[in-house]
Amino acid sequence: MKKLFVFLAVLLAFPLCAAARDGERVDDIVINGVMRIEPETVLAYLDIHKGDTVSGERLDKGLKSLFATGLFADVNLTAENGVLTVDLVENPIVNRISFEGNKKLKTNQLKDELSLKTRSVFTRSKARRDAQRILELYKRVGRYSAQVEPKVIERSQNRLDVVFEINEGKPAFIRKIAFIGNRAFDAETLEEEMLSKENRWYRWFTSMDTFDPDRFAYDRELLRRFYLRHGYMDFTVASYSAELSPDREDFYLTLVLDEGERYKIGDVKVESELKGLDADAVADAVSVKSGAWYNNVKVENSEIALINAVGARGFPFVDVSSELKKRDGEKTVDVVFTVKEGQHLFVDEIAITGNSRTQDRVIRREFRFAEGDAYSPAKIKRSKQRIENLNYFDRVTMDIEPVEGTLDRAILKMDVSEKSTGSLKLGVGWSSYDGPLAEVSVQENNFLGTGRRVGASASVAKEKTLFDVSFVEPWFLDRELSFGTDVFYLTRNYSDRSSYDSEMGGASMSLSWKYSEELSHTVKYTLRQDKIVDVSPSASIYVKEQEGTTITSMVSQTLFWDYLDNRYNPSDGYYVSLSNDLAGFGGDSKYLRTDVSTSYYVPLSDKWVLGWSASAGYIFGIGQDVRLNNRYFLGGATLRGFEDGGVAARSKDGNDSLGGDWQATAGVQLMFPLGLPSEFGMRGKIFADFGVIGKPDNYDESKMWYSSKLRGSIGIGFVWSSPLGPINIDYARPVLKERFDETEYFRLNFGWGF
């Protein structure tokens, strides 16, 4: 439209140009119609000066130049009797931009996308482009029936207000996702792998059931990755479509799949082209096994593992490639990993952008290499993973660009998109052990962009009160050494279990570091005061003699081996924890406690996970008996099917649980899907728990019940990671128990935030 306008203006000026075709001297230039724009600016764009001889062609060029600035709504040039007259109509200035009718998208979101800005020059073409951009934003959130109309309100001094009148319309939901050509997996399984979801009533808390073209494109990549993980090397999405209904409120997605054949792994070989490297020496790094279904993720991980293994043997420049060789007439593929010398490339510079809040050093210290080091894809991948694990950023991207004019130097460019790292949580809930509860917590995981963690929480329940303030410096003294402090106060009501209440208050300091990516070590010092109070008159003598206040000064250490794929929701791998507590550096309590625990997880399929767990602990007093509040108690979360403290030595007088000086537990649990959509976050479980417990130091057979026999239970339950908070329900029946044990068949814990 703008070009058409310029063309018409040129046609209007044609008689003038023709009149000046033979050339006419300009003795004076008169500029009319300018208010904000300086005459010198007009002359600079016009490029005609006094004393010049002009022709129609030169006037035409000047007219086009003035129109191209976008500063003028109309331009007219007249050359007569040696005077060049420039008549101008300035485009107005934007005084204010506002939006009407926008609820789904905030005003700031819309303003940031506009080309029109306050105090910028207004043109109709800019307004139309901005209206189209707003429509695109609404399409991103599934509003394909949205309408946007730019309106202007004229003000004095050639200013105007721009108002975008918006009718957001109704969201365009995904009504149906159809798959054609899928034989190995049903439609429900494939949809679970996609981000886009069919519209359902229970998806009110997500926008995944509205159509987004970028999300749909990523879905096709997710499907490809899914099939490659399951052995379908030749899988492709043959075609796809997204059809919008006539009322612009529903989308129908169709994907035509070509699954191809499923392949198993045949021979796996590692070949070396590096002088001095025996391929057999690093072959154990390969996780691809003959006879298993082909899995591209394991192939890629094996490449990285080989790079690391070869690099550890003193070869800094390494490249590993994998070649897949299909056997004729067989659904088998041989995999050959070739280790060869990589490009001699050094990281000349690490450039970080996007971190407006997080300090540069907080990001740089997570890199597994420094500027000037040899380029290593494995180290780059691990560095990216470590930065993502900080949980400070929505997005982390890394790109390598060669330094211009060099062959062996490159710049690593990293861009991040920051997200909120603080949280304020208010919650209420109920626990079968603590009863009704309310809690509030404030947490900042990147305090002032330094990476420090600061938190405070308070929880009040019928049976428990907790107050806690914590601080963690993850890089103490600019080393990968975490320093933490904690101040706490805790009260518990044990009247049902052991006829007393307890109070505990104190503080701790800790140092943590890593020996490797998997092995970490923590050393802690704790000073606390323990009180046993409100002892019932009917309590046993073993509880009454414990009443009073003690001071504990304790040094602890914990070694933790972490080989889990996800510490909070594991499906593969294992961990081992070994800890010791030594009390007696002052204070009243003197004891040594040792605890060890482990868990191992095996994925039986994509959603079925089998897990084993075991733990053991032993405490003995140093020159004194172990006090009641430091002993072991089984039950509740440690041995389902029994009350908390329900398995332990028990007084015959008062029926108080007295604990024990050692314990051992083991369990097996199968997590499985319930056939519900993944958004529900619900999984079922079948479990069996077993445990034994030792007797206390002051055991008296005539006054206590105790048995070292094995206890056990079996049960079912489910875990719901609801949008309002976690819900955990267990139903367990003891199958091995003693007559004095206290049982608890049903256990429920839940809470929600608001």
**CATH number assigned to the domain comprising residue 384:** 3.10.20.310
Query: Could you tell me the CA-to-CA distances from 354 to 78, 415, 416 in Å, in that order?
Result: 52, 6, 5
CB burial of residue 450 (10 Å; 0-12, 13-18, 19+): middle
Q: Whole-prediction pTM value?
A: 0.66
How far apart are alpha carbons 101 and 130 in whole angstroms?
16
Q: How many domains does the chain have?
A: 6
What confidence score (pLDDT) does residue 9 get?
A: 46
Q: Two tokens at 481?
A: 């050494």
Looking at the fold, whether 194 and 250 belong to one and the same domain comes out as yes
Query: Could you identify the residue written with the tokens 């503080």?
Result: 507
Query: Could you tell me the CA-to-CA distances from 634 to 531, 712, 731 in Å, in that order?
Result: 22, 11, 17
* CA-closest candidate to residue 613, choices 698, 656, 671: 671
Q: Which residue, of 151, 167, 183, is where some domain finishes?
A: 167
Q: Two tokens at 462?
A: 């019928």
- Domain presence at residue 468: no
- Domain presence at residue 534: yes
- Per DSSP, 215 falls in state H
- Domain presence at residue 581: yes
What confidence score (pLDDT) does residue 378 get?
A: 73
Q: Which residues pair with 752 in a beta bridge?
A: 428
Looking at the fold, whether 240 and 268 belong to one and the same domain comes out as no
- Domain presence at residue 433: no
Q: Which residue, of 72, 90, 108, is where some domain finishes?
A: 90
CB count in 10 Å sphere of residue 417: 12
Q: Checking DSSP bridges between strand 159-167 and strand 147-155, what pairing results, if any?
A: antiparallel
Looking at the fold, whether 538 and 648 belong to one and the same domain comes out as yes
Looking at the fold, whether 647 and 565 belong to one and the same domain comes out as yes
The answer to whether 459 and 465 have CB atoms below 8 angstroms apart is yes
The answer to whether 130 and 116 have CB atoms below 8 angstroms apart is yes
Looking at the fold, whether 97 and 118 belong to one and the same domain comes out as yes
Looking at the fold, whether 364 and 330 belong to one and the same domain comes out as no
Looking at the fold, whether 229 and 323 belong to one and the same domain comes out as no
- Domain presence at residue 725: yes
- Domain presence at residue 667: yes
How far apart are alpha carbons 8 and 11 in whole angstroms?
5
What confidence score (pLDDT) does residue 6 get?
A: 46
Looking at the fold, whether 303 and 232 belong to one and the same domain comes out as no
What confidence score (pLDDT) does residue 485 get?
A: 96
pLDDT beneath 50, residues of the chain? 1-21, 751-754
Looking at the fold, whether 147 and 184 belong to one and the same domain comes out as no
Query: Could you tell me the CA-to-CA distances from 648 to 157, 642, 731, 733 in Å, in that order?
Result: 88, 11, 21, 18
Looking at the fold, whether 335 and 212 belong to one and the same domain comes out as no
Contacts of 423 (CB under 8 A, 6+ apart): 441, 442, 443, 444
- Domain presence at residue 472: no
Q: Which domain holds residue 115?
A: 93-167
Contacts of 39 (CB under 8 A, 6+ apart): 31
What confidence score (pLDDT) does residue 206 get?
A: 66
Q: Phi-psi region for residue 157, left (φ > 0), alpha (ψ -120 to 50) or beta?
A: left
What's the pLDDT tens digit per position in 479-522? 889 999 999 999 988 887 788 899 999 999 999 999 887 899 99
Q: Which residue, of 306, 341, 376, is where some domain finishes?
A: 341
What's the pLDDT tens digit per position in 215-250? 899 999 999 999 999 999 999 999 999 998 888 888
Looking at the fold, whether 226 and 240 belong to one and the same domain comes out as yes
Looking at the fold, whether 104 and 182 belong to one and the same domain comes out as no
User: What does the radius of gyration of the chain's CA atoms come to, in whole angstroms?
Assistant: 36
- Domain presence at residue 447: no
What confidence score (pLDDT) does residue 1 get?
A: 46
How far apart are alpha carbons 719 and 734 in whole angstroms?
21
**CATH number assigned to the domain comprising residue 743:** 2.40.160.50
